[in-house]
C-alpha cells in the first residue's frame, strides 16, 4: 500500500507540473494585451474603457501615481499630445494565471523609453496595470 501512495503522489506532482507549465494562461490574455496597445496607440478611449474593469487600478511606479479607471481615461488628453508620432512596440515576457508581464518600448519622436508593465487580468478585463521604467533606451525591442 505504501508504494501505491508514493506512485499516486508522484503522479499527482507530475500532472501538476505539466498543468502549470503547459497551461500558463488563458488563451485570451495575449489578445487583451494586443487590444490594449492597439487602443493606446490610437488613443481609443472607448476601447480602453472596455478593456479596463470598473474598479481597475493603473499604477505608475516611477511617478508615484495610482489612477482609477476614470482618472486614467481623463488623462488620455495629455497622453494623446505626448504620444503624437510615437511608435509602441512590446514583447510579452511572461504569462501565467491571469498575470502578464510585458516589456514595452514607447518610441517617441525625440526619445524612447523601455518600460515593464504587469497586467492582472480577470474575467477578460484588466484589473491592474503596474508600470515601471527599465531604461531610457529601448535597445533591441
Does some domain include residue 37? yes
Please state the domain count of the chain: 1
Does some domain include residue 90? yes
- Is the separation of the CB atoms in 126 and 56 below 8 Å? yes
Does some domain include residue 18? no
What is the CATH number for 102?
A: 3.10.450.50
Give the length of the chain: 141
Residue 24, exposed/middle/buried by CB under 10 A (0-12, 13-18, 19+)? middle
Give tens-digit pLDDT for 53-95: 999 999 999 999 999 999 999 999 999 998 899 999 999 999 9
Give tens-digit pLDDT for 106-134: 999 999 999 999 999 999 999 999 999 99
User: pTM value?
Assistant: 0.79
Does some domain include residue 78? yes
Domain that holds residue 70: 24-135
Gap between the Cα atoms of 93 and 24, Å rounded: 12
- Is the separation of the CB atoms in 138 and 116 below 8 Å? no
Amino acid at each position: 500500500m505504501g508504494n501505491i501512495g508514493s506512485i499516486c503522489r508522484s503522479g499527482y506532482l507530475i500532472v501538476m507540473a505539466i498543468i502549470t507549465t503547459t497551461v500558463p494562461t488563458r488563451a485570451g490574455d495575449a489578445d487583451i494585451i494586443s487590444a490594449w496597445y492597439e487602443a493606446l496607440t490610437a488613443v481609443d478611449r472607448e476601447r480602453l474603457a472596455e478593456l479596463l474593469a470598473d474598479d481597475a487600478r493603473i499604477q505608475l511606479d516611477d511617478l508615484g501615481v495610482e489612477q482609477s479607471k476614470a482618472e486614467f481615461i481623463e488623462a488620455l488628453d495629455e497622453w494623446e499630445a505626448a504620444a503624437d508620432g510615437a511608435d509602441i512596440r512590446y514583447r510579452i515576457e511572461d504569462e501565467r494565471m491571469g498575470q502578464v508581464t510585458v516589456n514595452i518600448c514607447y518610441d517617441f519622436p525625440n526619445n524612447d523609453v523601455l518600460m515593464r508593465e504587469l497586467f492582472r487580468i480577470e474575467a477578460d478585463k484588466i484589473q491592474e496595470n503596474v508600470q515601471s521604467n527599465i531604461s531610457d533606451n529601448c535597445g533591441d525591442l
